[in-house]
């Protein structure tokens, strides 16, 4: 009987490790799924990571934009969101999105502490 209990406890601990929380990835299969996974990613992130993710999303949205004139002239650029860049960040985790923005963005954003 004791062996059965020990085996059950070992199996449960293994199951817990195997099902440890995986990082959320952007699901780009639709605009709605991209927005949902983005919201989940932000909710799970620390405050500092949330700020980095928001900046990364802005950087990726504005990548290749050279002036404010371009933003004013393009309705697409006036609604910056995860949906606009979902194909760029499809399947990426928060850390990977931040890294991608740092590596590829032409936009630099300064963050100030409060």
Q: How many CB atoms lie within 10 A of CB 108?
A: 7
Question: Given pLDDT bands bounded at 50, 70 and 90, which one contains residue 113?
Answer: low
What was the pLDDT predicted at 18? 47
Does this model's pTM top 0.85? no
Statement: residue 20 has pLDDT above 60: no
What was the pLDDT predicted at 9? 61
CA distance 28 to 36: 10
CA dist 59 to 8, 36, 42, 73, 93, Å?
49, 20, 17, 18, 16
């Amino acid at each position: 009987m004791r062996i059965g209990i020990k085996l059950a406890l070992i199996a449960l601990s293994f199951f817990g490790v195997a099902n440890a929380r995986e990082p959320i990835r952007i699901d780009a299969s639709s605009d709605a799924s991209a927005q949902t996974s983005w919201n989940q990613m932000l909710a799970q992130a620390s405050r500092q990571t949330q700020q980095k993710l928001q900046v990364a999303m802005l950087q990726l949205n504005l990548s290749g934009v050279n002036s404010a004139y371009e933003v004013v002239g393009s309705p697409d650029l006036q609604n910056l969101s995860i949906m606009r860049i979902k194909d760029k960040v499809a399947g990426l985790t928060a850390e990977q999105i931040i890294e991608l923005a740092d590596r590829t963005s032409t936009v630099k954003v300064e963050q100030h502490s409060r």
